[in-house]
Amino acid sequence: MKFRCERDTLVEAFGAAGRAVANRGGALPVLAGVRVELTGDRLKLTGSDLELTIEVEIEVAGEQDGIAVLPSKLASDLVRSLGDPRVEVDAEGDEATITAGRFQSSLRLLPADEFPRLAMPTDDAVTLEAKDFASALHQVVPAASADDARAILTGVLMAAENDGLRLVATDSYRLAVRDLPGTTVLSEGQSVLVPSRALKELERLLGSSEQVTLRLGEREATFEVGSVRLTTRLIDGDFPNYRGLIPASHPNRLTVNREALVEAVRRVKLMAREPNTPVRLAMSADGLELVAITQDVGQAHEQLDAEFSGEALTVAFNPEYLLSGVDVTEGDEITLDTVDAQKPAVIRSAGVEEFLYLLMPVRVS
């Protein structure tokens, strides 16, 4: 295999494919590499850990077709460091030579015949607006669990809902629900559970793209964005009954400026020095007061103008979870609906029903 390519183009391709490369113990050694296949002037780079696969196609000046597996991190770092923007790669036998200007380096290749065969995506495809889908991922994915011991909660539920698509994620402390009305991806009653890790990578890829193509198989989901294809295994299992977590009614409602609340939480939480120290929200007809206290360190409090209806009460929340929810809720004003200091609170953009963020309170003495 032999080709010439622009350095920055190759760096970007290695970077994208390399994000799926296995970096955990126990994986096949060859999965530490990126598979590079040249056909004519088209170069396809593939990284995979068997759960997640990212394929990137770029145009190069091809001289000799072939397949090789280059060590991902070393090859990426090497190409990124090159001073000359014109790169030549020549892979033969068990070695690849990378040349740029007066620089030359050789790398030992990984055995290409050991790189696993990957499932081909289904022909059935639907196209989504990338901007709306990226916005939904930005709001929902952070609420998924990062604990692999609770595999079901590391996924994002994608379900058909009211002639549209609903995305749901929870780590049992918080819940994010976003509806995309009119986005028909699944048949009525159908749902799939997509790993949040894959959707984080997808959000990164969407960038300024206009469209994303989704292909759903029995065990995999494939997303195509421009010249990049991301394939992930679906999670097998039943997602929790999240509907039962959302209170049917809320006697108390706080309406407050979103940006003012974000800035106040960021300031006050500086005094929540211990891992389990909450920020208290005291809500009344006089407005909102935020308080954080850490024994033997100090305290902070801040008053905000806000509208409140209901019985005055104080609710405590994990400040990071609170900030995460408020930060991704769009609009100038948000509402915080509560039942009491022990039951879940619901954050929404004022007057907007497409997104909600439910947050469990922290019990304080």
Q: Residue 203 class from Cβ within 10 Å (0-12 exposed, 13-18 middle, 19+ buried)?
A: middle
The string of DSSP letters for 322-352 reads HHHHHHHS-SSEEEEEESSSSSPEEEEETT-
- What pairs with residue 365 in β-bridges? none
**What totals of helices (H) and strands (E) does the chain contain, helices first?**
6, 26
Nearest residue to 171 (alpha-carbon basis) of 357, 355, 328, 319 = 357
Integer CA distances (angstroms), 363 to 249, 280, 282, in order = 21, 10, 14
| Cβ 165 vs Cβ 185: under 8 Å | yes
Quick one: pLDDT at residue 26?
57
Integer CA distances (angstroms), 278 to 11, 70, 271, 296, 315, in order = 43, 48, 10, 16, 10
Quick one: pLDDT at residue 24?
62
| Cβ 7 vs Cβ 85: under 8 Å | yes
Spatial separation of the C-alpha atoms in residues 286 and 309, rounded to whole Å: 10
239 and 257 belong to one structural domain: no
| Cβ 51 vs Cβ 233: under 8 Å | yes
Domain containing residue 153: CATH number:
3.10.150.10
- Is-above-0.85 flag for pTM? yes
Spatial separation of the C-alpha atoms in residues 338 and 309, rounded to whole Å: 11
- What pairs with residue 105 in β-bridges? 98
Nearest residue to 177 (alpha-carbon basis) of 223, 144, 134 = 144
- What is the domain range of residue 36? 2-114
User: pLDDT tens digits, the chain, 365 residues: what are they?
Assistant: 999 999 999 999 999 999 999 876 456 899 999 999 999 999 999 999 999 999 999 999 999 999 999 999 999 999 999 999 999 999 999 999 999 999 999 999 999 999 998 877 777 788 888 999 999 999 999 999 999 889 999 999 999 888 789 999 999 999 999 999 887 777 777 889 999 999 999 999 998 789 999 998 889 999 999 999 999 999 999 999 999 889 888 999 999 999 999 999 999 999 887 777 899 999 999 999 999 988 888 899 999 999 999 999 999 999 999 999 999 999 999 999 999 999 999 999 988 889 999 999 998 86
Whether 364 is covered by a domain: the verdict is: no
User: Among positive and negative, which fits the CA dihedral 158, 161, 166, 169?
Assistant: negative
Nearest residue to 227 (alpha-carbon basis) of 9, 31, 80 = 9
Spatial separation of the C-alpha atoms in residues 255 and 307, rounded to whole Å: 5
- Residues with Cβ within 8 Å of 302's Cβ and at least 6 positions away in sequence, in order, are 264, 267, 268, 289, 290
Domain boundary among 114, 149, 175: 114
Whether 350 is covered by a domain: the verdict is: yes
304 and 202 belong to one structural domain: no
156 and 214 belong to one structural domain: yes
Edge-first strand listing for the sheet containing 66-71: 66-71, 33-39, 42-48, 52-59, 228-233, 220-225, 211-216, 126-129
Domain boundary among 50, 84, 114: 114
User: What does the radius of gyration of the chain's CA atoms come to, in whole angstroms?
Assistant: 25
- Residues with Cβ within 8 Å of 97's Cβ and at least 6 positions away in sequence, in order, are 89, 90, 91, 104, 105, 106
Spatial separation of the C-alpha atoms in residues 102 and 83, rounded to whole Å: 9
State how beta strands 66-71 and 86-92 pair.
unpaired
74 and 22 belong to one structural domain: yes
Domain boundary among 178, 210, 243: 243
Whether 162 is covered by a domain: the verdict is: yes
